[in-house]
Amino acid sequence: MSEALSTTWDGLPISPEAPFGTTVVVYRQGEAGIEFLLLHRAHHGPEYEGEWAWTPPSGSRLPNEPVDECARRELWEEAGLSLPIQATELGQESWAIYYAQMTPDQEVKLLDPEHDRFEWVSLETALTRCLPDVVGQSVAKVARLLAGGFVATGV
């Protein structure tokens, strides 16, 4: 995310102060292990597989918006999910990384026109789909945190 950007793709203002946005890595326990939620961006059509085609729920922070609220808002706007989120120290000054566990009683519902579909994938698949590498690394960092057995209480 460049500090030079002042609006989102759809014209909303972006916070002039870091962090400029958040990523929420959503995971669940699947039959073959932990699976991660990826959303496909609709900007370049349903067949597009290049940079920024697949991402976890994420987006820019509005001016004066608390960082935790940005993470909750993006999770709701992009996936229709209201989950307890956990802040991490895995991001950078310019972009925060959170994670959340999907509960069996909730369903992903794409609520915004930014995305045309979603998939639950393994870490290996997430790393090949999430381009540029910085996007995939957000998922990889959370996977390492989860593998360490850290138990979060939620924010």
Does a structural domain hold residue 25?
yes
**pTM, rounded to two decimals:** 0.88
Output 100-105 pairs: Cβ under 8 A, ≥24 positions apart. 100/24, 100/25, 100/26, 100/27, 100/75, 100/154, 101/26, 101/27, 101/28, 102/26, 102/27, 102/28, 102/37
| 30-49 confidence digits (pLDDT tens) | 888 899 999 999 988 888 88
| 101-151 confidence digits (pLDDT tens) | 998 778 999 888 899 999 999 999 999 999 999 999 999 999 999 998 654
The domain that holds 96 is classified in CATH as 3.90.79.10
Does a structural domain hold residue 5?
no
Does a structural domain hold residue 14?
no
Q: What's the first-to-final CA gap in the chain, in angstroms?
A: 25
